Every structure is written in C-alpha cells, then in structure tokens.
A and B are shown apart, each in its own frame.
Chain A
Amino acid sequence: MKIYDVAIIGAGVIGTSIARELSRYRLDVALLEKETELAFGVSKSNSGIIHPGTQNPPASLKGKLCVQGNFLIRKISKELNVDFKEVGELIVAFNEDEIKELLRLKKEAEFLGVPGLKTVDKAWLKENEPNLNSVVVCGLYAPTAGIISPYRFVYDLAENAIKNGVEIHTETKVIDIIRVDKYFEIVTSKELFKTKYLINAAGLFADDISKMLTIDDFRIKPRKGEEFILDKKKENLTNHLIFPLPSKISKGVLIIKTADGNPMIGPTAEDIEDKEDFSTSDSGFSKVLLSARRLIPSINDKDIISYFAGLRPVAGDDFIIRHESKAPGFINVAGMQSPGLTASPAIALLVADILKNNGLALKKKLIFHAHRKKTIHLFAIPLPQTKKLIKKDASYGDIICRCEMVSAKEIQDAIKRGAKTMDGVKFRTRAQSGRCHGSFCTTRIMKILAEETQTPLAGITKRGKGSEIIKERI
C-alpha cells in the first residue's frame, strides 16, 4: 500500500494553499475533503477580503502572517491568473474618541509593517468616498487591502496543485487516525490512507481531528457571520472596503467590494454551538442593514438580492499552527478565522518550514508548473474578444445563464475542472447567481452536468448527496 509523504485534511483555502506549496517538492501529497467539492466548508462563505494587516495585535501570529500573506498573494494570483484587485480600505471614525483609537490601530499596524497607511480628513473622504455618511470625521486609509474570489482562488490553487502531482480525494471523510510505527493510518469514509506526515486543516472540525490523536487542548467554536449581497447595479456604491472600528470579537459590519462586482454588507458575529447551522435570521438582517446604513446611509433593503451565513472556526484569539510533539509528524493548522484567507500563502510557507524542521526532506522538482491559464468568463471580457472566442468554439455563443452571461462552454469547462454539483458550477462560473437565481437556467445546467458527469438527472445535486434537485422522473 502506498505511503504518502504528506496528507492534508481539509480542502479549503488553507489545505489547498499548503498542497500547492508542497507540490513544488518531490513528495507524494494527498488532500482529503469530506464534501463533494472543494471550498464547500468555511472558505465558500468567506468575504474575499485580502486584509492589509491592520486590526491585529502586534505580537500575534495572525498579524505577522497577514502582512506577509498580503504581499505573497499578489504573486500567486498572477501565477494562477486569478483576479486580485487592490481596492484599498478605509477604517472610519465617527468622533474624537474614535480618532484616538484609529491612531492606535495605525501605530500597531505600522509596527507589523503594513505599508502606506495614512489618516484622511473629511474633505478627502467627501472627494473619494462620496456616499459615505457625512458625520464620519476621519478615516484610516490602507492602500494595500484587496479583494479576490475566495472559492475561485481555492479552485485555481487546487487545479495547479493537481497539475503538479497532488492527489485530491473528495467525499472522503476522516473517521479515525491511528499512529502506527512511523506513519499514520487514516480511516476514511472511502479508503484507508497511510502517510508519514499529517496536516490538519479541517476548519470547523479541526478539534475533532486533533482529538483522534489525543491532542485535545483546543476547541473550535463556530462564530456565525450573516452576509447580504446587493445587486450588481450598485457596484460603485463605494470605492474602497469600508470598516467601522473593530470590536473585541470582530471587524464589525463592513461594506465589502467583491470580485464579482456585487457589493456585500455584513458580517454579523455570533458565537453558536452547532457547526452545521448556516441559517440566516431576521435579526441578523436588521442588524446588518442598520450597521451598514450607519456607514453608507443610501443602502436600501430592496438592493439586497441574496444572502448567506458562514461560520468562522474560532480557537481562541490567534491561529494555532504547530507541530505536535506528542504525535510526531502531525501538524495542527487550526483556528483559521479572519485573516485566514489573506494569510493562507504565508501559512503554507510556514507549514512547509515546520515539516522541514521535523525531518521531511524538501527537494525541489525539476519541473514545477507555477502558471495556470486564465479561466475565461464572458462577463469579464469585451464583446470583440467574445466574438473571437465564438469563432474558435461555437458553444461560447450558446448562452445558458442570461443574467450573468455564462455560456455552455464555460459550464462544460468548469465541470472538466472539477465541478460536480449545481453550486460547484455556480461558484466557478456565476451561472445561477444573478437576478433570477437560476429560474431560467437550472434545467439546462442540470442537463450539461448529467451529460458531462454521466449521471442521471435525478442524481444531480445542489451541493452533494442529500441535496438532489428533483425527486423523480415522471
């Protein structure tokens, strides 16, 4: 039986970042994911903000890795051809006391090495952020903040990792882990895996995984965040990401620009018990709307076209990234709440370093494919270019999703790149995420999925087993 050098549990942004980083080296790497698709855990409900490194305590691991990650993600997004936009952020103060707090944040962030910070006055704000509440007295401007599509980032990392030899196993839930001699046996819902080194990037379930190796000194507490998406027509509502001053447990309700164009407001921050409670609430809706209007008074509830809830995997105040000497070869990468996405490339480097320090030889491959061809999205390119594409392949002209202009070709490609479900197609292509929410295109996407994956129509799911779209054929 094959013994892997490294197995990684959890194919969110942390697990795939580590996998892609390790794929540079002559290693057998397996990435195990319990869901039907990658990024279907914590990562899919991430806000997509690449933080500059403000709002973190100066001595924290979070703070250090966030600043590094913000720098590293620029190179990776170029290599993978995933859209990263540096839009900048503003943290705003409503009174004199808040200005003091803003200056303290600035000092802490400068200590961590966040570049380009400056305070901006009312006149600057009026000029550069005209829809902002006019009672705001001052802002802290961080130019290096950016946005990325969190799930497309995961899919692109994974695609590149696969190209460089990483094996990805979905619908593979870890049931138990046994330490045998010099390796681990991983019992899963599918098959048994053996590995020399094991990385736990299991997000909300990292504590459960760690417990399997009797390391039981942390708990993952889900902290729910409800977010509300506005119509793309409001794309230019703000020019920057807008933050209030942070509270003890969160960065507050924000005005978020997204890679898809739709602005988003939220998230709430509510500690809950159930790791599978992704429901939104009327109270969350009212709270987010009220807080968002404090920043941008013109936001109207009629602009909201969609909403969702995500769970932050909180394990105390900081990230937990460490080799466990009680189970040599086992590395916990847990508590990946904000700024986990931003820090992910830095975390991957840190984990590679920990592996090396614990005896894993990292020998570079002769050939590492760093680059990935850009995914084509018709909505993102001008019509003359679309015309050329249609000449090359007629099915670019066969539009399936009319609201977001997604062609049959893009959907077929998404499936070839790994989409297996309706949500997988949605996250990769945006088909079904527009105004009609799939009313017009669901049947055609189902048929393409059925054909490409050789699945009967009744087996097509929203996001994996149990979420079949239809009940039966008539």
Chain B
Amino acid sequence: MIKRDLVIVGGGPAGMAAAVSAYENGVKDILLLERDQYLGGILNQCIHTGFGINYFKEVLTGPEYAGRFIKKIKGVSGIEVSLKSIAVKLTNDKTITFLSPGRLKTIKARAIIMATGCREKTREMTHIQGTRPAGVFSAGLAQKLINIEGLLPGKEVVIIGSGDIGLIMARRFALEGAKVKAVIEIQKKSRGLLRNMVQCVEDFDIPVYFNHKISRIYGKDRVEKVSVMKVNDNFNEIPGSIFEIKCDTILMSVGLISENELIEMAGVKIEENKTSVPGIFVCGNSFKIYDVVDSVTTDSYLIGKLAADYTLS
C-alpha cells in the first residue's frame, strides 16, 4: 500500500488553504484529491465579485480568489494534486481509497483532512408537493449551467428561499434577460447577506415575499406555475392568502448541508478542530456551513497547521 504523510480530500477553498498551510508548517509529502477536473471547487462557478474582502482586503471574483491558492500550490513540489479523483472509502486507521479514470488506489496516510464541502437542500427535503416536471433546479446547479456551461435553464423564474446563492442567481438570471418573478422566503427576513439583498434583488426590482411559502408545483412535463401562501410565525397557512405565479423554472435556495458521508461511514465523529480519531481532521463547509469564503480560508489554515503538527510529531 502506498504511504503518504498527509492526504487532503477536496480541492476547493478549504482543502487548498489546508494544503498550503500544512506545507508552510513543514509537511512536504501532501496528496490533494479533487474530484473535478480543476482545483477551486464551487468558486469556479462564482463569477460574481465579493470574495477576498476580509482575507486579501481586495474585491475578487470566485475564480480569482481560487487562482491565488492554485498558484501557490502549483509553485511547490511538496503538494501533489490528483484531479478527477473521488474518494470512495475512508477507514478509521487513516486509509483512504479513491477512484479516477483508469485507477483505484488505496493510500495509508499519517493524517487526513476531509474538505468535501456541502450540498444544497432539495425540493424533496423541503417536502414541496405537486407534480415533478423538468424545470426544478438547485440554485447551485442553475449557476453551473449558466456560468460554466453557457446554458440558460429558464426564462420565467421563481426562487424558493433567500439564501445567498438564490439571491445571486436572481441577479444572474435577470442579467441574462430572464424574468425573475419572485423570491419566496418563509422566514420574516432574508437568510442571505445584506449586500446580496441590495445588489441582487432590490437593484433589479425583483419582488421578495417574506412570510410566504410555496404550497404546490404545477406542470406536466415542464414547470407551469406555483401556488404561494402567506404563513404566520409558526409557518402555518393564513387562510385565503393563496395566489399563483406563472413560471417555467423554480430554483431552490433553502440551505446547505455538510457532505460528511465518508466520515459517517467510517464511524468517525466530528468535533471542534478535530475528530474522534487523532489524525483525521475536517474543515470548510464539510465541518460547518460558512457565510463567506474568507472565513473558510482562515479556519482551514488552522486545521492545516494542526494536521502538520500531528504529522510531524
């Protein structure tokens, strides 16, 4: 079996910061696994600005922010990057198995950092009933379709939830000439950053319905409309408040969930700055959901140092 000092799973902002930090703190044998064909993770599809204000004291786009770390990683020989490599098994004796085109490898590491990010809550998790037509997307998928693939998912859009990705996508659709008909938020106020409420929604005159929820999705093959109801503070329907909005697309932006399946399957418990297994660490959105990437970088630097201390001790 191949042995490595440190294996980091995930080449997004958390994994890259942890890799750079571990290297700077003395680990010279690092393997960074990234399932996509590029480093950078979700930053690659975040072509809007607003990244780096705290960390670099500059306003950057997502790819620019990622680029700073990619440059550092490529500039040193102690960090080996393996792209299109997906970890499929972790065990608590710190072995990790990954697949990539043409190979399956199992590696025994002195330390492992899991930086596997998060996923979006789906329509199904929110239990919105009705039909199941094409045209229901997570906000992140819509972002990928537009920004990476150059494909417009729809022309009349209703956004469910006022999370940051949803707000940013409201603006993105508006900029592409689509009509964003509403942002529907069950809470009294936005879940997203204030700057996104102002710059992405108010500046584009997109109506936001607080204390409202979607009660049903209609449409046989493609989304045709949604029904919306006003709710009280306990999220129960206020009678007589139902109205309909015609649309061909629904975006879900109702929250993120840490991706921890490999850690769970290994029976490892996550604690602050460590796990129940010495030498296995978790950082970034797979540890907790962050608002801004700058904080991910700062915290992951710390995890990189802790992993380095452990590896070298």
Residues of B within 8 A of A124 (CB): none
**A473 and B150: CB pair below 8 A?**
yes
Residues 24-46 (chain B) with a chain A CB within 8 angstroms: 35
Distance in Å: Cβ of B217 to nearest Cβ of chain A: 8
Residues of B within 8 A of A282 (CB): 129, 215
A-B contact count (CB 8 A): 133
Given contacts A306-B124, A383-B88, A383-B97, A470 and B152 within 8 Å (CB-CB): yes
**A397 and B102: CB pair below 8 A?**
yes
Among A284, A435, A465, A470, chain B packs the most CB atoms within 10 A around the CB of: A470
Task: Confirm or deny: B146 has a beta carbon within 8 angstroms of a beta carbon on chain A.
Answer: yes
**B151 and A458: CB pair below 8 A?**
yes
Residues of B within 8 A of A470 (CB): 145, 151-154
**A301 and B152: CB pair below 8 A?**
no
**A436 and B125: CB pair below 8 A?**
no
**A474 and B138: CB pair below 8 A?**
no
Residues of B within 8 A of A111 (CB): none
Which range holds the interface residue count of chain A? 35 or more
Residues of B within 8 A of A278 (CB): 131-132
Complex: A119 Cα to B256 Cα, angstroms: 47
B101, B155, B216, B261: the one contacting A471 at CB < 8 Å is B155
Residues 138-185 (chain B) with a chain A CB within 8 angstroms: 138, 140-141, 144-146, 148-155, 176
Task: Confirm or deny: A4 has a beta carbon within 8 angstroms of a beta carbon on chain B.
Answer: no
Among A405, A466, A469, chain B packs the most CB atoms within 10 A around the CB of: A469
Complex: A440 Cα to B12 Cα, angstroms: 15
Distance in Å: Cβ of B47 to nearest Cβ of chain A: 13
Task: Confirm or deny: B127 has a beta carbon within 8 angstroms of a beta carbon on chain A.
Answer: yes
Among A407, A436, A439, A461, chain B packs the most CB atoms within 10 A around the CB of: A439
Complex: A276 Cα to B218 Cα, angstroms: 12
**A402 and B129: CB pair below 8 A?**
no
**A471 and B103: CB pair below 8 A?**
no
Task: Confirm or deny: A222 has a beta carbon within 8 angstroms of a beta carbon on chain B.
Answer: no
Residues of A within 8 A of B132 (CB): 278, 308
Residues of A within 8 A of B86 (CB): 399, 402
Complex: A336 Cα to B3 Cα, angstroms: 59
**A461 and B134: CB pair below 8 A?**
yes
**B88 and A405: CB pair below 8 A?**
yes
Residues 235-273 (chain A) with a chain B CB within 8 angstroms: none
Task: Confirm or deny: B222 has a beta carbon within 8 angstroms of a beta carbon on chain A.
Answer: yes
B130, B134, B145, B149: the one contacting A280 at CB < 8 Å is B130
Residues of B within 8 A of A190 (CB): none
* Chain B residue nearest to A435 in the complex (CB): B119
Task: Confirm or deny: B133 has a beta carbon within 8 angstroms of a beta carbon on chain A.
Answer: yes
Residues of B within 8 A of A305 (CB): 122, 124-125
B84, B131, B153, B220: the one contacting A398 at CB < 8 Å is B84
Complex: A279 Cα to B133 Cα, angstroms: 10
Complex: A94 Cα to B63 Cα, angstroms: 61
**A276 and B103: CB pair below 8 A?**
no
A279, A397, A440: the one contacting B103 at CB < 8 Å is A397
Residues of A within 8 A of B134 (CB): 461-463, 467-469
Residues of B within 8 A of A473 (CB): 150-152
Instruction: Mark B residues whose CB is within 8 Å of A.
Output: 35, 84, 86, 88-89, 97, 99-104, 119-120, 122-125, 127, 129-134, 137-138, 140-141, 144-146, 148-155, 176, 215-216, 218, 220-222, 248-249, 261
Instruction: Mark A residues whose CB is within 8 Å of B.
Output: 276, 278-282, 284-285, 301, 304-308, 383, 386-387, 390, 394-399, 402, 405, 407-408, 435-440, 442-443, 457-458, 461-474
Given A304-B125, A304-B127, 4 extra CB contacts under 8 A = A279-B129, A280-B130, A397-B99, A437-B138
